[in-house]
Amino acid sequence: MSQPNFIVIMTDQHRADHLGCYGNSIIQTPHIDSIAARGIRFEHFYVACPICMPNRIVFMTGRMPSVNGSRHNGIPLDRNAVTFVDLLRHAGYRTALIGKCHLQNMTNKVVPGPSVPLASLSEELRDASRERRVGEEYEAELMHLWRADPNRSFPTPYYGFDTVRLADGHGDQVQGHYTK
C-alpha cells in the first residue's frame, strides 16, 4: 500500500469563520473551500498557545511550550528538536516547506531576561533552557540578512524539511528564499 500524500496549511492570525467553507458568505476563499470539500475539515480545533511562534513550535514538536522551551516569540525552536517532519522524512516522505515558517526569529530583537531577578536561582537556571539559542544556525529566518543578501542559503534539512521556499515576515515586509 502506498503512503498517502498530505498538505498542512497553517495561516497566521486567521479565524475559521473568515473562510467560505466555515460559512462566511462575504470573504471569497474558493481554493481553500475546494480543498476543505475534498479533505478533512475540523469543527473544534484549539491552539496550545495564542502566540504565533510558540504555537507553531507546539504543532511541529507535539510538545507544550513548558516542555519545548519556546514560550514566547523570540525563543526559537532548538535545532536539535525532533519534529513531526523529521519523523515523516525518516519514514521515506519527501518534505517541503513553502511559505512562512517562524520557528526561528524573524527580527534580531533579543528576548529580555526576567525583569525581576530570581535571587534563589543561578543565571543558567532562570530560563527554560540553559543556553540562549543564538548563532548562525538560528539565523535562517532573520529578515535583515535576507535584505542584505537575497541569495544567502542555510543548511537543509531545516527542522526536517528537505526543500524550503521561505517567505519571511508579515504583510508588505515579506522576504524570501529558495533552497533545494
75 and 133 housed in the same domain: yes
Active-site residue (options: 49, 52, 101, 177)? 52
Q: Which residues contact 46 (CB under 8 A, 6 or more apart)?
A: none
64 and 141 housed in the same domain: yes
- SS3 sequence of the chain: CCCCCCCCCCCCCCCHHHCHHHCCCCCCCHHHHHHHHHCCCCCCCCCCCCCHHHHHHHHHHCCCHHHHCCCCCCCCCCCCCCCHHHHHHHCCCCCEEEECCCCCCCCCCCCCCCCCCCCCCCHHHCCCCCCCCCCHHHCCCCHHHHHHCCCCCCCCCECCECEEEEEECCCCCCEEEEEC
102 is catalytic: yes
34 and 54 housed in the same domain: no
170 is catalytic: no
pLDDT at 69: 86
For the beta sheet containing 175-179, the strands, ordered from the edge strand earlier in sequence to the opposite edge, are 96-99, 163-168, 175-179
Active-site residue (options: 49, 101, 102, 177)? 102
pLDDT at 160: 96
**The residue count for the chain:** 180
pLDDT at 152: 82
pLDDT at 110: 63
171 and 130 housed in the same domain: yes
In a domain, residue 78? The reply is yes
In a domain, residue 1? The reply is no
150 and 127 housed in the same domain: yes
30 and 102 housed in the same domain: no
pLDDT at 125: 60
81 and 139 housed in the same domain: yes
76 and 151 housed in the same domain: yes
pLDDT tens per residue, the chain (180 residues)?
A: 688 888 888 877 778 888 999 999 998 999 999 999 998 888 887 888 888 899 999 999 999 998 888 888 888 999 999 999 999 999 999 999 998 888 998 887 766 555 555 556 666 665 556 677 888 899 998 888 888 888 888 889 999 999 998 887 665 565 555 555
107 and 144 housed in the same domain: yes
CA 153 to chain centre: 18
110 and 150 housed in the same domain: yes
171 lies in which domain range?
A: 50-179
Total number of domains in the chain: 2
Angle at 142 (CA atoms; ends 138, 159), nearest 5 degrees: 45
